[in-house]
Structure 1
């Protein structure tokens, strides 16, 4: 069992919101998600059965065969498509909020540039300019998960099967193309496969360049955040370098 005991009013509000959103979407999803029970207490807490499996890390993904990679992409694409099918107005009424934007202001990103090699710095600045120039998402803004990285997955590594996905705290209303950005933290290859599967399933065309720019903005913003807090700067810098060297997306 997983129990959550929120501290502070903001955390309590977030837990109540997550419980309402899960109650609204869980019955309609093919992929298992937590079936959360909220106990008002005091103290306020939630409980749900742990989804069996382990986090899906990049090394684990790279050991998967082609069939397992495609099955994982199909499962994620269906998960995204089912979430995006919800009426945004109904999800707002259920408590969904607009997803936060990545902080890509000049002042925020200023410490980032000296940490990047010249060639990567040029690529990153160009991507940032293009990201800032993006117009409204051609697929609109829908309710989505927006946090589909491997640390939120319950993965059966032995069978190569995704048993479920959890942590809906960052779910909300946002641009559809942004949904695919966190998937790249597992591997850009999975992002590319998931995009193709989503297009086959929904008939909607996903702009690879737009996904690339959302992901670039995400990684640059997160690197700036790690620099500010003194966190995992080297690890996050490597994520930036990896993104601008990959060719899958």
Structure 2
């Protein structure tokens, strides 16, 4: 029996009316596997920690959904066993760099404005109430020395000077000037449901990494789509909220995030080359700071 067969059997025990449906693996990550059938998405946690995050995500989404303009999943839990979640699929596909590069000016501006509104609405949620619903602090990256000790040996000689510059700049950053917010902290294109035909964002999903954290860190993830998107998003957010953001701080944090990811996977031969390439991609667009 394949993994898909096992997931299908678990789903049909709860929803026998889907017996004639076509099932397909939608996505697999370290935490979970997603299966799609008849416009529904079923997410199965792969271990106990992921199961806890799935429960937390369902509780948080119940508070997020009425507070934001963009559609987010209406996550319902099925206790099983095995535990899994169910929600209607938000129509759309990932937004990757190659897709963004083809968007005209009007679509880029609209996307940045939609994302800025989403973040502003999310950040208005009371951190205390979100903590009571299960939101915890986002994962800390740790100090520059620890990250550098793991990341620098994995880099090519050409990339090390920029990495050392980022580490030094990060080490000298003053404390976050704004109070902690409840944020998404995962706003890359793999968590977007983008309608490529209409060139519109249909929704956002995967809130497992959301939590309480520093405001400026919220804006590092869109760089995986494009630095241009980050610049537009930050400008739109500032205009919408009246808050001034430190653009240099966001740049440093963006580079540091790539190095942190590399440090976390430096001993993983399957993924380390991908993390090195990710940092190299950022260096190619970072400019001076």
What TM-score results when the alignment is normalised by the length of structure 2? 0.81
Correspondent of 1:220 among 238, 259, 264: 259
Are residues 124 and 23 of structure 1, via their aligned partners in 2, closer, same or farther at CA, if it must alter by over 3 Å? same
Q: Is the 8 A contact 1:104 1:220 kept in 2?
A: no
User: What is residue 209 of structure 2 aligned with on the other side?
Assistant: 170
User: What is residue 156 of structure 1 aligned with on the other side?
Assistant: 195
| Structure 1 residue 245: Cα displacement | 3.0
Shifted more, 108-117 versus 32-41: the winner is 108-117
Correspondent of 2:66 among 1, 14, 27: 27
Shifted more, 210-219 versus 221-230: the winner is 221-230
Please show how residues 68-87 of structure 1 align to structure 2 within 5 Å: 68-87=107-126
For the pair 1:124 / 2:183, whether they are aligned, the reply is no
User: What is residue 185 of structure 2 aligned with on the other side?
Assistant: 146
Task: State how far apart, in whole Å, the 2-side matches of 1:83 and 1:109 are.
Answer: 33
**Higher gyration radius (CA):** 2
User: What is residue 18 of structure 1 aligned with on the other side?
Assistant: 57
| Structure 1 residue 214: Cα displacement | 1.1
For the pair 1:245 / 2:287, whether they are aligned, the reply is no
Shifted more, 7-16 versus 204-213: the winner is 7-16
Task: State how far apart, in whole Å, the 2-side matches of 1:16 and 1:72 are.
Answer: 30
What TM-score results when the alignment is normalised by the length of structure 1? 0.93
> Relative contact order (C-alpha < 8 Å, sep 6+): which is higher?
1
| Alignment RMSD (CA, Å) | 1.9
What secondary structure, in the 3-state scheme, does the structure 2 residue paired with 1:227 have?
coil
Please show how residues 80-95 of structure 1 align to structure 2 within 5 Å: 80-95=119-134
Unaligned runs of 5+ in 1: none
Unaligned runs of 5+ in 2: 1-39
Task: State how far apart, in whole Å, the 2-side matches of 1:53 and 1:170 are.
Answer: 21
User: What is residue 94 of structure 2 aligned with on the other side?
Assistant: 55
Correspondent of 1:186 among 213, 222, 225: 225
1:169-192 deviations in Å (ceiling 9; x for gaps): 000000010011011000111000
What secondary structure, in the 3-state scheme, does the structure 1 residue paired with 2:266 have?
helix
| Structure 1 residue 111: Cα displacement | 4.8
| Structure 1 residue 165: Cα displacement | 0.7
Are residues 64 and 37 of structure 1, via their aligned partners in 2, closer, same or farther at CA, if it must alter by over 3 Å? same
Task: State how far apart, in whole Å, the 2-side matches of 1:157 and 1:66 are.
Answer: 15
Task: State how far apart, in whole Å, the 1-side matches of 2:109 and 2:76 are.
Answer: 33
1:15-40 deviations in Å (ceiling 9; x for gaps): 11000000011111101100111122
What secondary structure, in the 3-state scheme, does the structure 1 residue paired with 2:202 have?
strand
Task: State how far apart, in whole Å, the 2-side matches of 1:162 and 1:235 are.
Answer: 27
Q: Is the 8 A contact 2:57 2:207 kept in 1?
A: yes
